[in-house]
Structure 1
């Protein structure tokens, strides 16, 4: 998919504060989510460097179209012990006006390049763009659900089946759906924490047989 690598793969030598090409071999990185919109690379790096001496770089991901933060970033460590401690010690710590959420980061190397991507649940259909939202607050409307997801990219459709505490959000781009899966999984929408997984579009379902369940034209596995 066009721009998929651009959305997820970080060239730390080019983009990261405090990082050098010679340090790319060290891949002790973490994912940092729920970032406030004003958080910069420098702010993110300072937050971690004040506590962990081995911090090598930090990067806040910016939307290429809007120039605004996409609400997540990455921090790279030179020491895996510091990385492990940060995974627990920094979770919920405030950066600017919001508590951050920490998760593992998955290295991605293509054509000799090095990058880091947020982890997402595996899905066999690389064209699937539908996110299943479980444990949904019954008082949440489709418009409110859309607002929670639209910061990750263009949303094609949102559906909350009547009487069901779940919803389906279909993105225009697969990469944006992957980001939403990582960024919103376990977060609170309305008054309840939601659980996210890949949904199934009708086209995807037809090619898979009856492995999923149908709900108003969308499917979940």
Structure 2
């Protein structure tokens, strides 16, 4: 999938001005990178069928690579949709960002940025925005928010059938304090074209404490066979959980729009020990959860690595996806998305 792309890249690499980027991707400069991280890049939103060789070939067309790794599930071997590239020359890393960030590969638009070391100042800088004018583009949203700091990623959710904006978006800033300033400056304001004030708030990931509690429960219940409804969960959420035994199959749910059951979410890369209580606790804080289902092996009764969650409200479901997709639970990175007809059937 990269042969034709590389030929076009050669022209851009040799002739393209420094600091430019392809459409749909913000320009990432070296200003925010430390000396230690100016050669190491993280690449997100890669096609799942992209191979290690194709990944290396694409980024090797920019300059000499010291190392690169396409991250895969340790058990299934399936690509997790992201990887790392470490260049020998920092200038090549900068050129790779300016040239390849925003590149469309199949149905994906890849995101190329510096693999920054984790610190408190850059964590939890992802914002959830609702009430946006339906006519507002991703570029318009970036322009609105860019006055508060450097934007790492942005996204506007659109209807899968019509392609029309749902008025909901996500903005990830370089630093948390920039996100805080954006909330102060824009929450409750009416941007150009908006009929009502917009809502801007943190798309909070589960806290470390919550994650540890989930892991504790996960391994405490690893040997316990799940046989009935989660009665102990009913007081924690606005909607009482439906018993797993009485749940209808989610296989026929068309998730391009709301159904009688709500919005169905596909959760991939769960551990074999995962049970329904893990999904309730992960998704419950984001809103109304009506049912959950972990898909099990008939022989071992172990989780087959994926499950489904149904939420009644689209905005809450979208916020849960944005916050939990890529969330690390134990030694696994979850993949969370709206269920489509092509995904595993329940």
TM interval, short-chain normalised: 0.3 to 0.5
Which is richer in strand? 1
The structure with more radius of gyration: 2
TM-score w.r.t. length of structure 2: 0.32
TM-score w.r.t. length of structure 1: 0.47
